[in-house]
Structure 1
């Protein structure tokens, strides 16, 4: 998934309560909205249909798990059951009406007819678009699942198998091979979990039905451009419910911006051609500002009594300045370049490890705007390189709050005048700031970490 690839972060924001960005920030991104979470929660992937012929593949998995037939959770007028049914009934006309826009993009009438033949609305996507999952995993559980010995072993195999390609790409783009291999591993478990819905059908459905039609119309037309140009075949364009495809999960518009033909065969194949895949992912990161020769960040020990009001992405200082405040690199090593600027992330508050995040961490967040995801990518890359696990312990005794409890916490903060947003059970920077201010008011470490104890304190018990 790239910062041009990411809708899954909307779900992650609900999950991690402030570790991830808001859903609004995620909506402009591309990537792997469903499979990324499937790999964490073990949701069964639908069986792969037979490879399609010259026409469009079947709509995919809607027959396996049908639409609920209920209103969406967002309350958007286009997500009521009646509006969904009405739009679905007009689906063929909606697709046909996009022909003039396709023609303006240089898509031939023959290609348009060929690749839109047999499309049908996959209304199960409406449930997936508007779901509000009750995630209850902590960030340490998340990291345990994604950064594991099996995945690391496979990653090292991939690095060895495609060493010439990684060598060439690293020379050409200056992007760390371990980061690319990490994205490949976490996005699709090294090409084993890429999604099974036909991208053209999914994006056509979302372009004609639901609350984000303008966004997905662009993705749909871009998918047709990819097929018309011949970069990929229809059977290769299978992916997540929102249209992300390939081992590193490109949305069609991200493919258009970043995909490259690394081996010069005339096609940009990010699905089955490892050289194109590695180079395209590197090109994405490079154009997003990757700093050659720099890491993503450092685990740090935060001193007791530290003012966690400074643990904010807007509070950027040099590593030397952070050292002057008592922060030390975990493990005792010095910082290689003390003039680099970083911000402090404390995903588990004062009871867990801290991290000083550099420019490349922000670049990873453009791939997926969730701090938890970017932390997993950076740590996985370090482990592939031969680095050790994190030095400090996570507060594993703390249980993750449920979405209902997060909603209650926001409501209680609002009642006390600390929170001015709309309580929704999704934690972002505003909720963290409100919680820090409450913690400061009661003399607790103002780290913004939502725990059961903090909820009890807000309840006044």
Structure 2
């Protein structure tokens, strides 16, 4: 009988794993190249020459860092206090006011042309790149191609890759010059390639759109984009408000819309005590930190801001920052001290318990979206708590006690 040789077995196993790994890598590389060829074909159908695509895709490999960042699941949900506290700082307000003064003439001309108030253009700039301090250093073509071919979002990012190739074709750029975030957002305002193609403006008239180095181009493109997604002159995106005693908390929800004057007739006022605008525009009330925190009225322009970024907290932060850049007041009502972030697993557990109570029927995704908050509101009403849809530690504890 041949004696057992542990060293030989280990070497053979290592060699087998290495062979399998190499075969897997080669298969993955082959699939990536096939995906790129499909994108090239679609780009050709949309007018991009094969030579442009070949140059962009030459020796292109997937970016593992992009894959890792895309798959990273946030461990905790962000609270209103934490998010806005980080986004709207005294330093960012002061710098925004300085930038507003610096570019006043340009911004005023854009307001006349596009109907977007200057403080909003500056606020978006501050939110997106901290006034150009960080534009991202990933190669955009590589990032969007990686996300198209190596993740489950093939359709969206294939189109973004095609649009990136269009930019290379028409805007006199190289792949090395087109840099941005890991997800493909570019320039001072962090435009995706499709947004750049549709809304980019050559404001300085030099024959190319440069949202990286030309602030006239960056601001004009942002103004054009905001107008295109519904931003209108007139009311701001949001205002902090004071709710009267006995206000029906179940109506503090983005799904409930009333004319501004209807909220005023219920006793809702601006936080500084001034009356709400006399307007028939539809609006909503929200309580992003629950009934103990600040309340906001959301005007129609809030929906336009949400079209830029689908996060309610982001849109609130833009409105708060814009107001203070323009010299307006800070938010008066602070969030409650015990408003703590919930872990992803805690939210999943909440959703499962709410489903067992028959209050929630959507995906258990660990996200505090409108349907989850609606289920929380129904549970709060059932157990006699203020029905604001906000999962405080007490709500979580009561839910655990109710469903064991």
SS in 1 for 2:351: helix
Which residue is equivalent to 1:132? 73
SS in 1 for 2:210: coil
Q: CA RMSD in A?
A: 1.9
| 1:232–1:149 distance in 2 versus 1, CA, 3 Å | farther
Runs (4 or more) in structure 1 with deviation over 6 Å come to 82-85
Which residue is equivalent to 2:104? 163
User: 2-side partners of 1:456 and 1:410: how far apart?
Assistant: 14
Structure 1 residue aligned with 2:371, among 407, 430, 434? 430
Which residue is equivalent to 1:331? 272
Gapped regions of structure 1 (runs ≥ 5): 1-81
Q: Per-residue displacement from partner, 1:127-167 (whole Å, max 9, x unpaired)? A: 32232111254211211111111112221222222222212
The Cα shift of 1:90 comes to 2.6
User: 2-side partners of 1:289 and 1:394: how far apart?
Assistant: 30
Could you tell me whether the CA contact under 8 Å between 1:244 and 1:252 is conserved in 2?
A: yes
User: 1-side partners of 2:142 and 2:213: how far apart?
Assistant: 21
Aligned length: 380
Which residue is equivalent to 1:249? 190
Gapped regions of structure 2 (runs ≥ 5): 1-22
Q: Aligned ranges for residues 84-95 of structure 1 at < 5 Å?
A: 86-95=27-36
Could you tell me whether the CA contact under 8 Å between 1:346 and 1:353 is conserved in 2?
A: yes
Asked if residue 112 in structure 1 is aligned to residue 112 in structure 2, the reply is: no
Which structure's relative contact order is higher, taking Cα pairs within 8 Å and 6+ residues apart? 1
Please say which of residues 202-211 and 333-342 is displaced more in the overlay.
333-342
Q: Per-residue displacement from partner, 1:280-326 (whole Å, max 9, x unpaired)? A: 00000001111112211221112233222112222111122112223
Could you tell me whether the CA contact under 8 Å between 1:297 and 1:355 is conserved in 2?
A: yes
Could you tell me whether the CA contact under 8 Å between 1:236 and 1:271 is conserved in 2?
A: no
Q: Aligned ranges for residues 34-113 of structure 1 at < 5 Å?
A: 86-113=27-54
Which of 1 and 2 has greater Rg?
A: 2
Q: Aligned ranges for residues 359-370 of structure 1 at < 5 Å?
A: 359-370=300-311
What TM-score, normalized by structure 2, do the two folds share? 0.89
Could you tell me whether the CA contact under 8 Å between 1:84 and 1:209 is conserved in 2?
A: no
Structure 2 residue aligned with 1:389, among 330, 333, 336? 330
Which residue is equivalent to 1:78? none
Which residue is equivalent to 1:451? 392
Larger helix percent: 2
Could you tell me whether the CA contact under 8 Å between 2:294 and 2:333 is conserved in 1?
A: yes
SS in 1 for 2:205: coil
Could you tell me whether the CA contact under 8 Å between 1:88 and 1:209 is conserved in 2?
A: no
Structure 1 residue aligned with 2:255, among 307, 310, 314? 314
| 1:320–1:84 distance in 2 versus 1, CA, 3 Å | farther
Which residue is equivalent to 1:356? 297
User: 2-side partners of 1:139 and 1:397: how far apart?
Assistant: 12
SS in 1 for 2:91: helix
Structure 1 residue aligned with 2:339, among 398, 403, 406? 398
The Cα shift of 1:103 comes to 2.1
What TM-score, normalized by structure 1, do the two folds share? 0.79
SS in 1 for 2:284: strand
User: 2-side partners of 1:150 and 1:392: how far apart?
Assistant: 20
| 1:231–1:330 distance in 2 versus 1, CA, 3 Å | farther
| 1:314–1:412 distance in 2 versus 1, CA, 3 Å | same
Q: Per-residue displacement from partner, 1:384-412 (whole Å, max 9, x unpaired)? A: 00011111121123322222221221122
Could you tell me whether the CA contact under 8 Å between 1:88 and 1:208 is conserved in 2?
A: no
Structure 2 residue aligned with 1:141, among 79, 82, 89? 82
User: 2-side partners of 1:375 and 1:177: how far apart?
Assistant: 17
Asked if residue 377 in structure 1 is aligned to residue 306 in structure 2, the reply is: no
Q: Per-residue displacement from partner, 1:428-448 (whole Å, max 9, x unpaired)? A: 111111111111111111000
Could you tell me whether the CA contact under 8 Å between 1:197 and 1:239 is conserved in 2?
A: yes
User: 2-side partners of 1:398 and 1:97: how far apart?
Assistant: 48
| 1:405–1:93 distance in 2 versus 1, CA, 3 Å | closer
Could you tell me whether the CA contact under 8 Å between 1:84 and 1:210 is conserved in 2?
A: no
